[in-house]
Amino acid sequence: MKKKGKSRKCPFCHILFIPCGNNVHRQKYCCGTDECRKVSHRDSSRRYRESKRDDRKWKKEECERVKDWQKQHPDYWTRKKKRKIFLPTHSYVISPRHKK
C-alpha cells in the first residue's frame, strides 16, 4: 500500500516531518520549534519581497508603510540594543575589526 503523506526533511533542524493539510505542496519547514517557524516566515517573506522586486508601486507603498511603522515605534532599535546586555559577559568577544 502506498503511503498517503510524503515526509520531508526540514532544512533548518533536519528532522523528517509530514506536511499538514492544505499546505502540502508549499511547506518546506517543519513547525516543531519556534526557530523553524521564524526561519520559515523569514524565508517566505524574503521570497515575497523578491517576487515584488520590480513592482514600483508596491515598493513605494512598502516604503511608506515602514516609515509609518518607524514613526509609531521610535524606541524599537534602542529597545533591541538594551536587551543584548543580558548576554553573559565572559562569552562576549569584541572584535578589534569593529574599532577603527
Q: Which residues bind Zn ion (CB under 5 A)?
A: 10, 12-13, 30, 36
Residue 26's CB is within 10 A of a number of other CB atoms, namely 8
**Single-letter code of the amino acid located at 96:** P
Q: For the CB of residue 73, give the shortest distance to Zn ion in the complex, in Å.
A: 30
> What cell numbers appear for 69 in the block?
511603522
Q: Compare residues 37 and 52 and give the one whose CB is closer to Zn ion.
A: 37
Q: Compare residues 10 and 19 and give the one whose CB is closer to Zn ion.
A: 10
Q: For the CB of residue 3, give the shortest distance to Zn ion in the complex, in Å.
A: 21
Q: Compare residues 12 and 19 and give the one whose CB is closer to Zn ion.
A: 12
Q: For the CB of residue 17, give the shortest distance to Zn ion in the complex, in Å.
A: 7
For residues 28 and 44, what is the distance between their CA atoms, to the nearest angstrom?
10
Task: Dihedral sign for Cα 27, 31, 33, 35, please.
Answer: positive
